[in-house]
Structure formats: structure tokens, C-alpha cells
Amino acid sequence: MSELDLSVNIAGVTFKNPVFTASGTFGAGREYADFIDINTLGAVTTKGVSIVPWEGNKPPRIAEVHGGMLNSIGLQNAGLEKFIQEDIPFLRQFGTKIIVNICGHTAEEYVSVARELYDADVDMLELNISCPNITEGGIAFGTDEKALYDVVYDVKSFARQPLSVKLSPNVTNISKMAKIAADAGADALSLINTIVGMKIDVHTRKPVLNNVYGGLSGAGIKPVAVRMVHQVRTAIPYIPIIGMGGISSGEDAVEFLLAGASAVSVGTANFENPRATSFILQGIRDYMTKYGFSSLNEIKLDE
């Protein structure tokens, strides 16, 4: 049987396979190293990194719901300095690509992170302008056309690595936001981030999350994510897309590839099964073998 080619090129970076981890669900990989061989991943997308440490929101900030979970973590992280000193060397031990998810309260903060990473040994930046859990920055950029254009343009002007812009699904017209990001210089798009949701405890009659609202992720958001990938692929055929939202099997991943993604990121599924990425990668191989595909670009939607 001929070898399967799972490699994929996104914005000039060659990934050995299309299975990445989704930001915020995999740390910098330490928690998972006992469960999976990090060398087998196409890429690790780190959790959001800001220029200085962020404390995040007060608990409760996680809630299970049917078909997924809500989180209002608020991008807690130890800041860029610690990230550069500890996380990059840790990840560089492995034969996987490093995508750094960057966050900020202001455009200047995003730019500062990209500038500080100029000389860092990382492969791609992912601009998180879509976090629903912070009061300044985050989703405010992802839902405002001018702010989106400006922050992408500014970060792109200072970044050395290719830039993927992580779009918010909390908009009416995802293709329009995608076009704005592409026009401003995005090399790729990551979609989708979480969808704003809420859970109420009917016994206490209080919101479950301290932050009241949180981001919905997991199986329940997959059809929305697949639809958005397809819409953006149709609107902008040339831009590579990293698809995510509720992927927990090889067939889920293939659905995103068929919708037009070049690669996929796995988030919430890691919490249920820390070996989810390995299972998904094997599932893609099994699918290719079953249908006689030898490379990923043969997997095309029959429209």
C-alpha cells in the first residue's frame, strides 16, 4: 500500500500533518506529554500569551453543558517573558511546529507581543481577536470592522512569522470579517473561536459562571464552525483556513477539510480524552485508506 501524505503547507510553513491543538486547551503541552507523543502533532497552538501576566476571571469559570462546555477563563497566562524562557524551549524539544496565540487589551499590546517574538524560534502567530471573556480587547476587535483591519495591519507590519487571524463567530457576516482580515494582511484564518453562551442554575437562580456569560465550545458548535469555514472558503478561495470547533474524531476533522480547511485544531475534546489528537489523526488516515486518497488535497467537497 502506498504511503499516505498528510503534510500540509500553510503560508509557507510545512506541517507534517493537519492535526493541531487549539489554543487554551493544551497549555504548552506539558500536561499532555504523558498521554501523547507531542512529536506526532502537526502543531501545538499555545494558549493566549499577553505582554504581561494576566490573572484571568474569577471562578466559577467553567461549566459543562449538553454538547460541550462554557468557559470564561479570561486568557489567564504567565506573560510573554516566562513564555519565551520556558515554553518555547520545552516545545522545541519536539518535532512539531509552534503556533503562538497572542492576545492583548489594545492594538499596541498585540503589536508588542509580535515584536518581542520577532527573533523567537516559533513558526506562526495566531492573533486572538475573538475572545469573548475579556472586557477590553479580544472580541471587541473581532466584531468591529475598522478595529479588526487596524490591529491585523499593525501586527502584520511588525511580525516576522506568518500570521493567522482567529475570527469570532459572534458576527452576522463571517465572510465580510474574513475579507477584512485578508485585506489587512492575514496569511491565514483560524475559525472559529467560542460562541457566547450562558448557563443558569435554576435552583440558586443565579448564573453559573461568575462572569455571567462564557464561550461555548465542543461538539454542539461544530455545524456552525463547518458552515463558517465553508462560507469563508467560498468567499476567499485563496486564503488557508485552520478549522476548529467541536472536532473529536477523524470524520469530524474530514468534515472541516471538505468544507475548505487546510488543517484542524482540536480543543475541548482534549479535556474528555487527552489522547484525542492521536485518535483524530488515525481517523483521518483510516478515512483516506478507505476512500483511496493518498494526499489531503484529494479530499474535496462534491457540490
Ligand X SMILES: Cc1cc2nc3c(=O)[nH]c(=O)nc-3n(C[C@H](O)[C@H](O)[C@H](O)COP(=O)(O)O)c2cc1C
Indicate which single residue of 132, 137, 240, 245 sits in contact with ligand X (rule: CB under 6 A).
245
Binding of residue 261 to ligand X (CB under 6 A): no
State which residue, 4 or 147, has the beta carbon closest to ligand X.
147
Minimum CB distance to ligand X, residue 103 (Å): 6
* Residue whose C-alpha is closest to residue 215's, from 245, 189, 242, 190: 245
* Residue whose C-alpha is closest to residue 114's, from 185, 187, 52, 50: 50
Segment contacting ligand X (CB under 6 A): 108-116, 157-165, 216-224, 232-240? 216-224
Do 29 and 53 form a contact (C-beta atoms < 8 A)?
Answer: no
Do 113 and 49 form a contact (C-beta atoms < 8 A)?
Answer: yes
Binding of residue 268 to ligand X (CB under 6 A): yes
State which residue, 79 or 293, has the beta carbon closest to ligand X.
79
Determine the residue with CB nearest ligand X.
24
Residue 103 appears among annotated catalytic residues: no
DSSP H helices, the chain, are 80-82, 88-92, 107-116, 139-142, 145-158, 174-183, 222-235, 250-259, 269-272, 276-291
Indicate which single residue of 25, 72, 96, 112 sits in contact with ligand X (rule: CB under 6 A).
25
Do 17 and 43 form a contact (C-beta atoms < 8 A)?
Answer: no
Binding of residue 97 to ligand X (CB under 6 A): no
State which residue, 23 or 112, has the beta carbon closest to ligand X.
23
* % helix, strand, coil for the chain, step of 5: 35, 20, 45
CA distances from residue 8 to 5, 87, 131, 225 in whole angstroms, order as listed? 9, 25, 27, 21
Binding of residue 101 to ligand X (CB under 6 A): yes
Indicate which single residue of 10, 19, 83, 166 sits in contact with ligand X (rule: CB under 6 A).
166
Indicate which single residue of 17, 112, 161, 217 sits in contact with ligand X (rule: CB under 6 A).
217
Kindly state the number of chain residues that form the binding site for ligand X, as judged by CB under 6 A.
26
Span 41-80, contacts to ligand X by CB under 6 A? 47-48, 71, 73, 75
Which of these is catalytic: 131, 191, 219, 263? 131
Do 84 and 116 form a contact (C-beta atoms < 8 A)?
Answer: yes
State which residue, 139 or 236, has the beta carbon closest to ligand X.
139
Binding of residue 168 to ligand X (CB under 6 A): no
Do 251 and 283 form a contact (C-beta atoms < 8 A)?
Answer: yes
Do 179 and 235 form a contact (C-beta atoms < 8 A)?
Answer: yes
State which residue, 84 or 246, has the beta carbon closest to ligand X.
246
> For residues 162 and 182, what is the distance between their CA atoms, to the nearest angstrom?
12
Minimum CB distance to ligand X, residue 24 (Å): 2
Instruction: Please give the residue ranges that form the binding site for ligand X (CB under 6 A).
Output: 22-25, 47-48, 71, 73, 75, 101, 128, 131, 166, 193-194, 217-218, 221, 244-247, 266-269
| Catalytic annotation, residues | 131
